[in-house]
Structure 1
Amino acid sequence: MLSAQSREIVTATLPVVREHVVAIATRFYGRMLGENPELLNVFNRGNQASGEQRKALAGSVVAYAAHLVGQGQEIPLDAVISRIAHKHVSLGITPEQYTIVGRYLMGAVKEVLGEAVTPEVAAAWDEVYWLFAVKLIAIETRMYQDLHADPGRIYAPWVVTGRVEEAEDAVSLLLAPESGPVPHHLAGQYVTVALEMADGVRQGRQYTVSRAAGHEALRITVRRVRGTDGTPDGEVSTLLTTTTKVGDQVWVTPPVGDIALAEGAGPVVLASAGIGVTPMMAMLEHLAERSPDRPVAFVHADRSPARHALAQEAQRLGGRLESFTSTLFYEQDAPEGARAGLVDPDAVPAYPDADFYLCGPLPFMRDVRTSLLRRGVDTGRIRFEVFGSDLWTSGADRLPVPEQAAS
């Protein structure tokens, strides 16, 4: 809990910090990464170039501070912290790195706000940061223990044992550890896959395991990220989809992720767009093998059939279920039986007793979730996976984080 003195100071200074927080984060990242180049192995350079990482830090710092002083209560704090902790564990973030981040972050606050940052103001915001950090460190420590993993050595060498061209710009890779068994995962969880770039910097990205547990290799299905409006192409996705071949070594972390298929007997609704289909495939296979009597509605939107990864597999798995409906939307070249154009959010069934899973671009998930809520679905039944750096920010153009995480 924030001390009374700090609470008063944070309440008073929150507006000015919110106004300048992107500039603070920009200064913070530039100084920290410039003086600690080893941290380049942790941070996503693509997000740095696009500014997404700065926006993420801005959102988390301001939103957490607001929550501590009684503002922003519509944001479910525990769910957000859980999601961030899973992301950190997937990257091997260590407690020592929180100290480095805190030092540079507070230095950036002082540089940007200047004389407005009195010793009392600095102490209050330092308290905010460490309340946040300690909470995350405690959760992450327990997760590392459960995974029997050393955060300083979270990556292990794996080998590519298979490669399948799934669709335009989309490839499935089968991955197996060089030693030891394939770790168990829950349907919907992800791993971080890291490659060494040409300049020697290791870059890792999160990819959902796109099939259920019980195989001799994990499968990830990767879509190549092509840069737009001056942003660079995805470094890791480009290598994985264009040059990675069977026999190559990659570095992989244990499966994590707090959005996973919940056990139960009621209906399941899976709504995805683009490469967001990947967690749905793991869930479909799990349901086909373990709970084929659960009714499943599958709704997917894609640019065209040529871009739709794992389309035939989804229908094959659906055929193993006792009750399965499939609704497909294509912006281009929609075949007979599919719908043309963008997804109609109201086409996603709003069964009151169903569990709903969403994955895709933020506007897609926002629109589907809004439609479900308008039609009476309880918000706690809607789970969704967000990839990228924006795990906190909420607003008119953002999707709020889930009020209840799947387990």
Structure 2
Amino acid sequence: MSPQQKDLVKATVPVLKEHGVLLTTHFYNRMFTHNPELKHLFNMGNQQNKRQQTALAMAVLAYAEHIEDPSVLLPVVDTIGHKHASLHIRPEHYAIVGRHLIASIAEVLGEAATPELLEAWTVAYTQLAGLMSGREQQIYDEKVALPGGWSGWRPFVVRKKVRESEEITSFYLYPVDGGAVADFKPGQYISLRLFLPEYNLQQPRQYSLSSAPNGEHYRISVKREAGSQHPDGMISNRLHDFVEPGDMIDLSAPSGNFTLKAGDGKPQVFISGGVGQTPLMAMLESLVRTDASTPITWVHGCKNERVHAFKADLNAIAEQVARVEKHFFYDSAESLSHNEYLGWVSLDQLPAETLHPEAEYYICGPGPFIRQHYRYLVDRGIDKANIHFEEFGPLSLSVN
């Protein structure tokens, strides 16, 4: 990009801050009108609740703000790249998106969208698309290189369906072809897709793998969403209500960069809220199996014991492995046992020695939950590089 073009892109930052969601909403409406086939690639629930429009607006704004040095966005590019690879996004999709994005800028800005500005954003988008698709190709190559790995969609069969709590059910998924399945890094997720006849759409969703790698099957643990019309329940509730052992589901290979950082003996602390414990369960199981000495602390909060999935498993692990310390928080409880607390997760209620200064911390739950505990740890001197978190859904959380 020329210096003049960079200046033009930077000059749109105030407009993006004020009207970014308006722009991205117009963009998605335009794209789905002209290219309705892309509805099969996008989570239409996140279109209903506006999370996708907000996430894209934040991404476009961040890119404009850092147009002088896009390399500072590489961690975000990696996270989005994993999500795109999980959904089998290809370079040709970037061409379609780019065409509608530039057209949307012209239509929303009107006379302010000069030919020079549109050309500058065209060059900027082309640069971003090349950066993104290049990283995604690396991820595809890494997937295929693994024993039992693949790219695109692969049919799996549900062999077992286990109710873990009043809200969460686990699905055990085996490849239809009988072949091996790729190992994964604990904390990663898969995408699955189901056909929704009421919308005449294939819809993909991403679910964390909730057990350690085993080479034979994957397990996901899915929360039922309250209300049949809840956007987040379009697929999750269908899995609960209609998918049974023997049914087939298409899966993508594991993706994600929210992964276990063990191996150097540093204490590991897992902090979760609700269904956010699912990727942490895979991390915990893997750590217990492969590491005989690392201290582990498990902190989890949920509404009550009836919705507390995996409690029996966690109690059994803590009884068998002395270095595992667990703490449970409940919004309501008829009685409390040792290391159980009433109320939301509050790290300052834990013993002072629980939060090791040099530990690796993993936080997963709703956005406000992550933000609260991230700030708590940073305020107490924990290095930000040692705090890892994952927000379910479109990337929109900023904690700095």
TM-score range, shorter chain: over 0.9
Match of 1:169 in 2: 167
Matched residues, percent identical? Answer: 38
1-side partners of 2:282 and 2:320: how far apart?
14
Deviation by residue 1:84-107 (Cα, 9 ceiling, x = unmatched): 000000000000000000000110
**Is 1:225 matched with 2:225?**
yes
2-side partners of 1:141 and 1:236: how far apart?
28
**Is 1:112 matched with 2:108?**
yes
Match of 2:245 in 1: 246
2-side partners of 1:320 and 1:42: how far apart?
44
**Is 1:130 matched with 2:135?**
no
3-state SS of 2:173 partner: strand
Match of 2:85 in 1: 89
**For the structure 1 residues 393 and 341, does the alpha-carbon distance in structure 2 shift closer, same or farther, using more than 3 Å as the test?**
closer
Q: 2:385 aligns with which of 377, 380, 402?
A: 380
2-side partners of 1:233 and 1:255: how far apart?
21
3-state SS of 1:173 partner: strand
Structure 1 unaligned segments of length 5 or more: list them.
401-407
3-state SS of 1:353 partner: coil
Match of 1:371 in 2: 376
Total equivalences in the alignment: 388
Match of 1:67 in 2: 66
What one-letter code is carried by the residue in structure 1 that aligns with 2:57? A
Tell me the TM-score normalized by structure 1: 0.91
Match of 2:364 in 1: 359
**Is 1:23 matched with 2:35?**
no
What one-letter code is carried by the residue in structure 1 that aligns with 2:131? K
- Residue 29 of structure 1 and its aligned partner are, at CA, apart by 0.6
2-side partners of 1:335 and 1:89: how far apart?
46
**For the structure 1 residues 63 and 243, does the alpha-carbon distance in structure 2 shift closer, same or farther, using more than 3 Å as the test?**
same
What one-letter code is carried by the residue in structure 2 that aligns with 1:90? S
- In the TM superposition, structure 1's runs of 4+ consecutive aligned residues that sit over 4 Å from their partners are none
What one-letter code is carried by the residue in structure 2 that aligns with 1:340? L
**Is 1:142 matched with 2:144?**
no
Deviation by residue 1:341-387 (Cα, 9 ceiling, x = unmatched): 11113346431111111100111111111111111110000011111
Alignment of 1:311-326 (within 5 A): 311-326=311-326
Match of 2:234 in 1: 235
1-side partners of 2:206 and 2:334: how far apart?
30
Structure 2 unaligned segments of length 5 or more: list them.
none
Match of 2:266 in 1: 266
3-state SS of 1:68 partner: coil
1-side partners of 2:34 and 2:151: how far apart?
22
2-side partners of 1:56 and 1:108: how far apart?
17
**Is 1:39 matched with 2:38?**
yes
Match of 1:403 in 2: none
2-side partners of 1:182 and 1:126: how far apart?
41
Match of 1:405 in 2: none
**Is 1:339 matched with 2:341?**
yes
2-side partners of 1:319 and 1:78: how far apart?
42
299-308 or 19-28, larger mean C-alpha shift: 19-28
What one-letter code is carried by the residue in structure 2 that aligns with 1:65? A
2-side partners of 1:346 and 1:51: how far apart?
34
Q: Which has the higher contact order (CA 8 A, sep 6+)?
A: 1
1-side partners of 2:81 and 2:153: how far apart?
17
Match of 1:201 in 2: 201
What one-letter code is carried by the residue in structure 2 that aligns with 1:373? V
Checking the alignment, whether the CA contact within 8 Å between 1:288 and 1:318 is kept in structure 2 is no
Match of 2:355 in 1: 350
2-side partners of 1:130 and 1:242: how far apart?
43
**For the structure 1 residues 161 and 365, does the alpha-carbon distance in structure 2 shift closer, same or farther, using more than 3 Å as the test?**
same
Checking the alignment, whether the CA contact within 8 Å between 1:305 and 1:334 is kept in structure 2 is no
2-side partners of 1:328 and 1:344: how far apart?
10
- Residue 334 of structure 1 and its aligned partner are, at CA, apart by 5.4
3-state SS of 1:272 partner: strand
- Residue 129 of structure 1 and its aligned partner are, at CA, apart by 1.6
What one-letter code is carried by the residue in structure 2 that aligns with 1:25? T
What one-letter code is carried by the residue in structure 1 that aligns with 2:116? E
Tell me the TM-score normalized by structure 2: 0.93
What one-letter code is carried by the residue in structure 2 that aligns with 1:205? R
195-204 or 250-259, larger mean C-alpha shift: 195-204
Checking the alignment, whether the CA contact within 8 Å between 1:226 and 1:232 is kept in structure 2 is no
2-side partners of 1:346 and 1:215: how far apart?
40
2-side partners of 1:360 and 1:347: how far apart?
19
What one-letter code is carried by the residue in structure 2 that aligns with 1:186? K
